[in-house]
Amino acid sequence: MLASVQGITDGLALGDMQAMVEAASKSGGSMMQELPSQSRVKFPEPFTQMGMASHKVFDQIA
């Protein structure tokens, strides 16, 4: 996710909207789907809620 934030920041500085979209896409909701379900169920509920909110913001940017 930090790489996505860096990509969004770089794209913003350069006025490159496509770079921002590509960077944000990498940390959207699809990123959570790539995580094995056995790992997802081990996260504490507050962490899961915060994570899902973060992924949704990346989807909104993309």
Per-residue pLDDT of the chain (62 residues; tens, 9 = 90+): 899 999 999 999 999 999 999 999 999 988 878 888 888 788 899 998 998 999 999 999 99
Q: What would the 3-class secondary structure string for 1-62 be?
A: CHHHHHHHHHHHHHCCHHHHHHHHHCCCHHHHHCCCHHHHCCCCHHHHHHHHHHHHHHHHHC
How many independent structural domains does the chain possess? 1
Domain that holds residue 32: 2-61
